[in-house]
Copies of this chain bind each other. A is one copy, B any other.
Amino acid sequence: MLKVYLSGEIHTDWRESVKSACKGLKIDWSGPVTDHAASDDCGVEIFGAEPDKFWHDRKGAALNAIRTRRGIEGCDVLVVCFGEKYKQWNAAFDAGYAAALGKPIIVLQPDDHDHALKEVDAAANAVARTPDQVARALRYVLTGTL
């Protein structure tokens, strides 16, 4: 059983692509909450509204951290996807967090991000360009066959 955490980009279906290309493999998937609205508002929804957006965000981010830290700390491999848009600092933060814990990292990124991601890539075991490459890498790691 390989435990894989799928970090980063939540606006495309790359997670589903990776999972479906890994069908049949013994992989235990985890990842952040990918419902954008729930992820943003979970803190105030559960613990009460905040007039200041800064603390609104804080309540949510701190609650989400319970899930994300647990997923990263428990995984065998972190796959982190950087998409075309947005700041995606949480993705880079997750990669740094995983690197400090000695977790193997596979980065999924378009090549126009290569220079900006060079520090992240240097901490990774592989840089993939497509979800299918991620899936083939996971398959190889688990089964030893290409």
Query: Hey, which bits of chain A sit against chain B, CB under 8 A?
Result: 2, 33-35, 38, 41-43, 45-48, 51-55, 57-70, 76-77, 82, 86-102, 104, 106, 111, 113-123, 125-129, 133, 136-137, 140-141, 144-146
Contact = CB atoms under 8 A, between A and B. Distances in A.
Contact of A61 (B34, B94, B122, B137): B122
B119 A90 contact: yes
A20 B97 CA distance: 31
A9 to B, nearest CB: 13
Contacts of A97: 96-97, 99-100
Given A35-B145, A46-B140, A87-B116, A58 B96 contact: no
A96 to B, nearest CB: 3
Copies of this chain: 8
13 contacts: A33-B140, A34-B144, A35-B144, A47-B126, A52-B52, A66-B77, A67-B141, A87-B117, A89-B120, A90-B120, A96-B97, A96-B99, A97-B97
